[in-house]
Amino acid sequence: MKKTVIELFAGVGGFHLGLKGAGWDVVWANQWEPGKKVQHAYDCYMSRFPEVEALNVDIAQVNDNPEEYPIPDHTLLVGGFPCQDYSVARTKADGIEGKKGVLFWEISRIIKSKQPPFVLLENVDRLLKSPAKQRGRDFAVMLATFRDLGYGVEWRVLNAADYGFAQRRRRVFIFAFHESTKYNKSLKKQSFEKILHGKGLFSQAFPVEKEYSKNHPPFKKELDHDIVKVSDTFSLTFRNSGIMLDSELYTEETIPQYVKPKTLGEILEKDVDKKYYLGPNLDDWNFMKGAKKIDRVSKTTGHKYTYAEGPVAFPDPLDKPGRTMLTSESSKNRSTHVVRDPQTGELRLLTPVECERLNDFPPNWTNTGMPEKFRYFTMGNALVVGLVTIMGETLDQIIKKESIRKAKVKNTPKIKSDTQQEQLSFKI
């Protein structure tokens, strides 16, 4: 089985860079920033990966015009997509329709059309709890969609700092595998607990302790076979790890086997330009970073309430990993990192290169002509590259086993079942 990849919502190429480090071949990509006259992320992607066929077109337009924008067959589909409203409804024609403009439905259209053996997606960890009024519904709808397309799903919330990286960045990774893969068949022979503690992709790549967290007990549940009922009635808080096979799901709070992380101090540059320093007037910064209680009035109801928030470390400690970096990193903002420069002893912002290092990108990866402010923005949107490389290496071992299966099927003189026929139908 070939190791070919298509990358959706490619950004500046974090998935590509990570998988390339594990020997995968990205053959097609799509990156489109709505409402932007200049497509800086796409331009960066093309400057770093000129050999790839990469489209700068709205993915919905790509799906609507398959003859104009053909998507190649592939082994693995990857992408980091926005967290949106995933609710679905029944149409008058007794079909199923999702919310318009939700990019996950565009992903599902490609999966339905191309039927890749494997899918790897990334999102913010709050996806598992959204929306607030119906906890877990959005993710449950995603799981039901994958099930209806013929896939099992494994998921894991990963904090990059738990496995040796310099940023406390929490993201949920979602691994889907087609029901006719050898990997799917092997998991069905295992208990859910063994999958999450050693047999699954994520536990192989990122080991966990034998015991789960006692603070959040695990649960099993059968997902309703009607996706509309899932959308209307599902309400449970998913744990940080889980597995779905057919309609049975199991989720638990696993405990990572920690790897000593890099620290913020280790990724700092030397001889930093003075433009990144805060200067002597720190009143605004002290206010933003400090604890506060502010009386407010609701604009909609007129209700009076007190807004309160705790303090943020000011400056950020250099002997710990950095906090989660946001797209607002370059601005004067409560969430922006501020460090005391080891050389000068003065307070300053992180440089673009330091932000790239926080996400495990090579230095100056985004220094391709885009404005400096947008360099920060792209890193606030990016994933930690090294995590993807580790996943890619584990996926490589899974693919090798699939290749053995394919060889056996190919040498079978007669196809005796629909399952064997389906195994031969992959175009990779």
Instruction: Provide the annotated active-site residues.
Output: 83
Triad 265, 268, 271: Cα angle to 5°: 130
205: CB partners within 8 A, 6+ apart: 390, 391, 393, 394
Distance CA 422, CA 409 (A): 11
- Of 331, 328, 184, the closest CA to residue 245 belongs to 184
Triad 303, 307, 311: Cα angle to 5°: 175
Contact between 384 and 166 (Cβ < 8 Å): no
Distance CA 44, CA 11 (A): 8
Distance CA 195, CA 242 (A): 9
Q: How far is CA 421 from CA 237, 250, 333, in A?
A: 39, 30, 57
Tallying the residues shown for the chain, one arrives at 428
Sequence letter at residue 13:
G
Burial-class residue 93 by CB neighbours within 10 Å (0-12, 13-18, 19+).
exposed
Q: How many CB atoms lie within 10 A of CB 24?
A: 25
- Of 83, 55, 81, the closest CA to residue 70 belongs to 55
Contact between 32 and 103 (Cβ < 8 Å): no
3-state secondary structure of 216: coil
Distance CA 62, CA 38 (A): 20
